[in-house]
Structure 1
Amino acid sequence: MALIRIALINDYEVVVQGLAAMLSGYRDTFDIVELDAGTTVARPVDIALYDTFAATAGDGDEVRTLTREPRASKVVVYSWDMGEPLIEKALANGADGYISKGLAAHELVAALLAVHNGERRVHPIPSGSPAAVVGDWPGRHEGLTQRESEMLALITQGLTNVQIAERTHLSLNSIKSYIRTCYRRIGVSNRSRAILWGIEHGFRPDHTRSTDT
């Protein structure tokens, strides 16, 4: 069976490298031909896997642009947000699949295969199963959760709380709660110091491309 060519897409190098590590045990199934910090694809791939960490959701312009890229046969959104309205918008936006970031590596592989084979488009966490802690993200080794890290990344990018709410589809109260716990973990007391900490610890987007995996 021919290997499935896949590009991993997110603006943060640590995120795409974490995804690559998740899939590294499945080299008999996938050929990771690109790690893209950005939303373009340089070479033909069977699947472009779009990770929404600190990026717009599946209903945003980035996914719409990616689905129009002729070098990407299928586009799959990889997200924590499994709300039905957002999934419907992502699929209407041209996405071929939508997969929860709470799946373990073997479940992610099964989901990608199902999308690739046209068998099933949407893959939430199985009912009754806990969300897996997978992949990597900036600040993980400083004790930040994925959501706290995402809030800090968006703050470091200069977004306001209202803009973060629009991007992540979270309530303002949830965002404020994540930001408060983030401040405690990194030992800062205000937004300016959090931004400085973020700049010093890799929370600015990389915007680089690697095709050597």
Structure 2
Amino acid sequence: MPSKPPSAPLNVGVASPFELVLTGLSAMLRRHPARVTLCGAPGQDGQLSGLDVVLYDTAALDPTGGADGGADLDHLVRANARVVALARPQEPALTATALERGAAGVVPMDASATQVINVLERVARAAPGGTRSTRHVDARMLLLPHDLTVREFEVLALVAAGLSNAEIAERLYVSVNTVKTYVRAAYRKIGVDRRSQAVIWCTHHGIAAN
């Protein structure tokens, strides 16, 4: 898919299993017609229909909520869509899953319209190609609280759930030393220095393990 000229508004599709989310996002984006043209949801089997970028609700990745487990995301990625994941802070594992499966950016549910559109523009106008691994997603395409990375965000959620560093390492298939590195970085960014403080911070910000 060719990059969008900088002066042209983006053709944006919104995908969510919830009508309330679709309605709210649509109303928010329509207030910025110079930057965004809302084109509705992607078609069946990930058909792009001229879309430059798709804002994808990560709730669709949760099969326990009656969603399809992300089959539509897989269709979009196979069709070379540029996808930005709409992240739910209380479900960081879904955000990580969206990135691993091909999303190129992330915005949280509480982002402003300007913040959302900034990330949509960066993703839509970025050079195509690259790996699907979250380790290589351009940080400019992410918008998480306090500049946390996806992995730091996920580790914080697991800390809040009461898991030890060893248990987090087992859950994420990394070493304990790697977990400690993520924990230190996350603590520094959110301004705490003890586990109990991190749990309180997560509780106040609605962050919990999926």
Query: What TM-score results when the alignment is normalised by the length of structure 2?
Result: 0.50
Higher helix proportion (structure 1 or 2): 2
**Bigger relative contact order, structure 1 or 2, given CA contacts below 8 A and separation 6+?**
1
